[in-house]
Chain A
Amino acid sequence: MRRQLFPAFSFLALAASFALGLIGVGCRPATQSTTGAQAAQLKPPTANTAAPQPQATPQREKPPADGITPDWHFPPITHATLPNGLQLRLVERHHLPLIELRLVLLSGSATDAAKPGVAMLAGEMLKVGGTGVLSSRQLLDKVESLGSSLEVLTDRDATTISLAVTAQNLDTALGILSDLVQKPKFQPDEYRKLKRREMDRTDSLAHSDPAWAASMVLYRQLFELPSGVHPYATYDATSKEIERVMLPDCKSWYKQNVTPSNAMLVVAGDINPAALQQSAARIFGKWSGKAPSAASFFNPMPPNELKLFLVDRPGSTQAEVFVATLGPELQSEQWAPFKVGNQVLGGGVAGRLFLDVREQRSLAYRAFSSVESVAHGPAPIVLRAGTQTAKAGLTLQALLEHVQRMGDSAPTDSELQIATRYLSDVFLLRVETVGSLADMTAQLGVLGLPDDYYDNYRSQVSKATADQVKASSPNFDAKRVIVVVAGDAQVLTTPLSHFAKVNVVEPDKSFATEKIVPQNAAAALELQRMD
Chain B
Amino acid sequence: MHVHPSPRVASLSTVSLTAASLVLSFSSLASATAAVALPTSSSVVPAAAAFDTSSLQRLAVATQRVKLDNGLRVVMNVDHSSPSVAVCVTYDIGSRNEQPGRSGFAHLFEHMMFQGSANVAKGEHFTWISAKGGTLNGTTSSDRTNYFETLPASSLALGLWLEADRMKSLDVSQVNFENQRKVVQEEYRMRVSNAAYALAGMKLSQIVFGSYWPYAHPTIGSMADLDAAQLDWIRQFHSSYYAPNNAVLSITGDFDPDSALQLVHQYFDSAKPVQIPPYDPPAMPEQSEAHSATVQDTNAHNPGLLFGWAIPPNRTPEHYALELATLVLGGGESSRLHQLLVRDKGWASGVSVSTDDQRGPDQFTLRVILSEQGKVPAVTSTVRKEVDRLARSGPTEAELTKAKNQLLSYFLFGLEGNMARAQQLGSFELYYGDARLLTREVDAYLAVSASQVQQATAKFLTAARQNLVTVEPVGAPGSQPSAKTTQPSGKN
Instruction: Spell out A's residues near B (CB within 8 Å).
Output: 1-14, 16-17, 26-28, 30-32, 34-40, 51-54, 56-57, 60-70, 72, 93, 95-98, 100, 124, 128, 134, 136-138, 140-151, 153, 162-169, 172-173, 193, 196-197, 199-201, 203-210, 314-318, 348-350, 354-355, 358-360, 362-366, 386-388, 417-418, 421-429, 431-436, 439, 488, 490, 531
Contact = CB atoms under 8 A, between A and B. Distances in A.
Contacts of B124: 40
Contacts of B332: 140, 144, 149
Contacts of A72: 83
Contact of A350 (B34, B116, B130): B130
Nearest to B171: A54
Contact of B44 (A98, A141, A417): A141
Given A93-B81, A97-B55, A164-B32, 4 more contacts: A12-B137, A66-B154, A97-B54, A149-B6
Nearest to A68: B154
Contact of A57 (B119, B300, B412): B119
18 contacts: A7-B23, A8-B22, A37-B127, A38-B127, A98-B33, A141-B402, A142-B46, A162-B4, A197-B346, A314-B477, A359-B183, A362-B178, A362-B179, A386-B189, A429-B82, A429-B84, A432-B81, A531-B193
Contacts of A142: 44-46
B435 interface: no
A415 to B, nearest CB: 9
Given A4-B16, A204-B301, A315-B298, A11 B7 contact: no
Contacts of A316: 194, 298-299
Interface in B1-54: 1-8, 10-11, 14-27, 29-35, 40, 42, 44-46, 48-52, 54
Residue of A34, A93, A201 with highest tally of chain B CB at under 10 A: A201
Contacts of B184: 365
B475 A162 contact: no
Interface stretch (B272-280, B323-331, B452-460): B323-331
Nearest to B404: A147
Interface stretch (B63-71, B352-360, B381-389): B352-360
B88 interface: no
A140 B342 CA distance: 14
A36 B130 contact: yes
B182 interface: yes
A359 B116 CA distance: 12
B218 interface: yes
Contacts of A358: 183
A423 B132 CA distance: 9
A16 B14 CA distance: 12
A359 B123 contact: yes
Contacts of A9: 19, 107, 110, 139-141, 187, 191, 219-220
Contact of A208 (B11, B151, B190, B401): B11
A14 B183 CA distance: 15
Nearest to A192: B346
B137 to A, nearest CB: 5
Residue of B254, B263, B371 with highest tally of chain A CB at under 10 A: B371
A149 to B, nearest CB: 5
Given A2-B26, A4-B356, A5-B198, A432 B84 contact: yes
A143 to B, nearest CB: 8
Interface string B123-160: 11011111111111111110000000011111111100
Contacts of A60: 118-119
B176 A54 contact: yes
Given A28-B4, A429-B150, A14 B121 contact: no
A1 B204 CA distance: 18
Residue of A51, A424, A435 with highest tally of chain B CB at under 10 A: A435
A13 B346 contact: no
B478 interface: yes
B23 A200 contact: no
A261 B203 CA distance: 53
B186 A364 contact: yes
Contact of B121 (A56, A69, A432): A56
B22 A350 contact: no
Contacts of A349: 126, 129-130, 136
A54 B83 contact: no
A348 B83 CA distance: 22
Contacts of A173: 33
A57 B171 CA distance: 10
A426 B83 CA distance: 11
B416 interface: yes
A34 B135 contact: yes
Contacts of B238: none
A146 B202 CA distance: 35
A64 B158 contact: yes
A386 B478 contact: no
A70 B371 contact: no
Interface in B329-347: 331-335, 339, 342-343, 346
A348 B32 CA distance: 29
B342 A197 contact: yes
A153 B7 contact: yes
B167 interface: no
Given A146-B46, A362-B183, A10 B18 contact: yes
A447 B79 CA distance: 32
Given A14-B22, A196-B346, A316-B194, A435 B413 contact: yes
Given A6-B16, A208-B299, A362-B179, A149 B130 contact: no
B154 A69 contact: yes
A3 B353 contact: yes
Contacts of B190: 13, 318, 365-366, 386
Given A38-B130, A53-B122, A197 B349 contact: yes
Nearest to A146: B33
B111 interface: yes
Nearest to A212: B10
Given A1-B331, A164-B30, A315-B480, A196 B186 contact: no
Contact of A424 (B121, B133, B327): B133
Contacts of A67: 153-157
Interface string B245-276: 00000000010000000010000000000000
Contacts of A208: 11, 195-196, 299-301
Interface string B450-484: 00000000000000000000000001111110000
B7 A26 contact: yes
B201 A63 contact: no
B406 interface: yes
Nearest to A52: B175
Nearest to B79: A95
B114 interface: yes
Nearest to B325: A1
A428 B82 contact: yes
B242 to A, nearest CB: 15
Contact of B127 (A40, A62, A366): A40
Contacts of A16: 3, 21
Given A148-B33, A201-B10, A317-B193, A32 B3 contact: yes
Contacts of B10: 26, 201, 204-205
B448 interface: no
B61 interface: no
Given A11-B110, A95-B81, A142-B44, A200 B372 contact: yes
Given A3-B352, A37-B130, A70 B300 contact: no
A10 B22 contact: yes
B444 interface: no
Contacts of A141: 42, 44-45, 334, 402
Contacts of B3: 16, 32
Contacts of B152: 69-70, 425, 428-429
B97 interface: no
- Which are the 6 A-B pairs with shortest beta-carbon distances? A37-B130, A425-B133, A3-B354, A147-B405, A314-B477, A148-B33
